[in-house]
Amino acid sequence: MPKATETTLEINLNALSYNFGYISSKLHKGIKLMAVVKASAYGSDSVKVAKKLEALGVDYFAVAYASEGETLRNNNLETPILVLHPQTVNFDKIVQHCLEPSIYSPLMLDRFIAFAESENLKNYPIHIKINTGMNRIGFSVNDVNYCIKKLSKTNTVTVKSIFSHLAASEDMENRVFAEKQISDFKTASEYLINNLSYTPLRHTLNTSGILNFPEAQFDMVRSGIGLYGFGNCEEENKNLRPIATLKTIISQIHTIKKGESVGYNFGFIAEKEMKSATLPLGHADGINRAYGKGNGFVTIHGKKAPMIGNICMDMLMVDITNIPCEEGDEVIVFGEKNATAEEFASSIHSISYEIITAISPRVKRIFVD
């Protein structure tokens, strides 16, 4: 890998291919795979990642908002795209770019059918989201009859899939809850299908669900964080490769005398003579202000350098007293092996999802393939 000469987020598309292969190996024959590429493909680059996945043969993409799907279509991605959280104001954008909305409530179903009728649409693909216990969005099980009634009176839409979402598929201590969700989804989706004249796809497993509940793959599964290198448990993390490495350099080295402070508001006071290194990234780049003051570390020449003082907007400081290094040397903020985003997140009681999606667009992306 090239050495950093500035702050960069290096995206390893070979690692993405590896993760895609590993997750695909867990699927039963004929099961489709939906890749979740929302939030700039979890902080990387949705277009680059989606193009790689399309070349690998992924069956579906999922994005959060219509604008994310529009970006993919504008870059010539042709794979079907599910919009997980469409909004009424974006229905025209959804149809214009051949996106497929998740319909999650009676109100949303009424509004999309009305829109489809006004546009003279026929059999436009929609996806019915059922709430089985996440209690975020989705039709309640009791609303399935409403779906059936509305769908039976129109030919403007067709149900491409029925899906739900597991609340804690990585938490095997609460396996009973996930199993109840799966059972409720099976019952509700079968009832809906039995009242349609065709058979939509069904899917409810996310990355952890794929790994922990292979019996519930139905027709398709969804993977987000797994594609980016995390399996939501220490054992599965060993089988995946993080695709993103945040690198920077040492801008300046200081010798700090005993009693001197570092950074804003005396956030660090040296208890003895020491050395600090200043790095060109800060909270405007996605390094949360919860870091610093001993929380978090970076890696320099394979050694951990704790963050000290308060994180600045564009800079942060680390303790390099016991690390031989020079100005201009490369620094790994997070990446693979012993400095993953998950480990980086743990020091502020966060998760890998939050860390990798927080990296600012101003941080230069470099792609390795």
Residues serving a catalytic function are 38, 264
- What Cα–Cα distance (Å) separates residue 159 from each residue in 28, 147, 201, 282? 24, 10, 9, 46
Nearest to 333 by CA among 368, 366, 369, 306: 306
CB atoms within 10 A of CB 60: 21
- State the Cα–Cα distance between residues 218 and 28, nearest whole angstrom: 9
- What Cα–Cα distance (Å) separates residue 116 from each residue in 81, 111, 120, 177, 235? 18, 9, 6, 37, 47
Contacts 24+ apart (CB under 8 A), 115-120: 115/88, 115/91, 116/154, 116/156, 116/157, 117/154, 117/156, 119/95
- What Cα–Cα distance (Å) separates residue 283 from each residue in 38, 156, 264, 311? 22, 48, 13, 6
- State the Cα–Cα distance between residues 66 and 95, nearest whole angstrom: 10
Nearest to 99 by CA among 117, 86, 89: 86
DSSP one-letter string for 107-119: HHHHHHHHHHHHT
Cβ(253)–Cβ(327) below 8 Å: yes
Amino acid type, 44: S
